[in-house]
Structure 1
Amino acid sequence: MLFTQAKGRNVIALTTAESLATVTGIAIAPAPARIAAVRVKTRGPGTQVTWNDVHSFGPDAVTVRTPDTIQGDQDTTAPTDKHHDPIGKRLLTETGQNLGSLDDIDFDETTGHIKRLIMAGQDIPGERLLGAGTYAIAVAAP
C-alpha cells in the first residue's frame, strides 16, 4: 500500500465503533525498515498511534482496539511530529549524495514493513533505509 493512498483515512475504535482521528502522517524507523507510528489529527489531545496499536490498516479505515490507543508525542520514542514526516524530505546516501526527494512509501499494511521508498524515476528498496530525521532520509549507497 502506498502511504499517499492511506493519508486521510479515518481511525476507528473497534470497541466503540466511533471515528477517533484522521491519518495525517507517519514516522518510520530503520533496521528493519518499518512504520513506527501513524500521526493523526483528533478532536482531542492525541497525536499518534504506534504501529503495535494498529489492529488493521484496511482499504477504508485504520482500526484500533480502544480509543485510548491514541497517544501524545511524549508517550512514545517514535518522532511523529510534522517535522519528522518523511514524505517530501530529501533522500541522501550514506556518502552524502542527494538522490532527490521522497514522493511516497510502499509498505505492507499488515506488518508495517517498508517495501520501497519511491521518488521520481527511482525506487529504493526499504532495506536500504538507514535513518530518518527532520532534515533528510538516509539510505545505504547501492
Structure 2
Amino acid sequence: MLFSRTLGCPVLSASDASRVGTVAGLVVDPEHASISALRLTGVSSGGDVIPWSDVHAVGPDAVVVEALAAARFTSAAAPEVHNPLGKRLLTELGDLVGTVRDIAFDPESGAVGTLHTSRGEQVPGSGLLGLGSYAVVIRVVPGGGAHGITG
C-alpha cells in the first residue's frame, strides 16, 4: 500500500461500519521503520489519532479500525505528525538525494517497505533514520552511498 493512496480514505468502525473520520496522515516511527498511528480529520467524538494496533485492515477504499479505537488517543497525547511526502531526502551526512515521492508500507504490520524518491530510486525502510518538519534522513552505507538506493 502507498501513503498517497491512504490519505483521504474513510476510516470505518469494524463493529457497526460507522464512519469514524478520514485519514489525514500516517505517524511514522523512524526507529522501528513502521507506522505507529493514523491521524484523522472529521472525527465526531473521541481523539483524532488512532494507534496502529487498533487498525483492523487497510484497503484501497477504506481503513477499518477496532470499535473503540477513536477514543484511544486525543490530540494532546498524540505524537507529532510530519507528512514525509514531498520532504527533502537527506543522507545522515547532509547530502540531498531528492525528495520523498511516496512510501510503500505493509498494510497488515505497518512496516515501511520502501521510500520512493523524486529521482525514481527506492530506499529500503530499514535505511530510515529520522523524519521531521524539514526533511527525511536516511543512513549511509560504508563506501559512501545512501543506504540501499536502487534505481
State the TM-score, normalized to the length of structure 2: 0.83
Bigger shift: residues 64-73 or 31-40: 64-73
The answer to whether the aligner puts 1:97 opposite 2:98 as a matched pair is no
Superimposed CA distance per residue, residues 86-114 of structure 1 (whole angstroms, 9 cap, x where no aligned partner) = 11111111000011211110000000000
Q: Name which one, 1 or 2, has greater alpha-carbon Rg.
A: 2
Query: 2-side partners of 1:125 and 1:88: how far apart?
Result: 17
After superposition, residues 7-46 of structure 1 pair within 5 angstroms as: 7-44=7-44, 46=47
Equivalent AA in structure 2 for residue 60 of structure 1: D
Q: Tell me how far apart the structure 2 counterparts of residues 38 and 72 of structure 1 sit (CA, whole Å).
A: 12
Unaligned runs of 5+ in 2: 141-145, 147-151
Residue 20 of structure 1 contacts residue 67 of structure 1 at CA under 8 Å; is this kept in 2?
no
Shift of 1:68: 4.5
Contact 2:54/2:69 (8 A) holds in 1: no
Q: Distance in 2 between matches of 1:20 and 1:132?
A: 27
Question: Which residue does the alignment assign to 1:116?
Answer: 114
CA distance in 2, matches of 1:53, 1:108: 15
Deviation at 1:44, TM superposition (A): 2.8
Q: Secondary structure at the match of 2:4?
A: helix
2:39 and 2:77 map into 1 onto residues whose CA distance is: 13
The separation in 1 between residues aligned to 2:12 and 2:56, in whole angstroms, is 10
Q: C-alpha displacement at 1:40, in angstroms? A: 1.2
1:63 alignment partner, SS class: strand
Deviation of residue 31 (structure 1)? Answer: 2.9
Aligned to 1:58: 59
Partner in structure 1 of residue 143 of structure 2: none
Percent pairwise identity: 37
Number of matched pairs: 138
8 A contact 2:48–2:70 mirrored in 1 = no
C-alpha distance after superposition, 1:46-86 (max 9, x if no partner): 3221211111112221111124435322223x322xxx111
TM-score normalised over the length of structure 1: 0.88
* Larger RCO: 1 or 2 (CA < 8 Å, sep 6+): 1
Q: Which amino acid aligns with 2:94?
A: G
Does residue 129 in structure 1 map to residue 128 in structure 2?
yes
Point out where structure 1 has 5 or more consecutive residues left out of the alignment. none
More helix by share: 1
**Distance in 2 between residues matched to 1:88 and 1:25, nearest whole Å:** 13
RMSD after superposition: 1.6
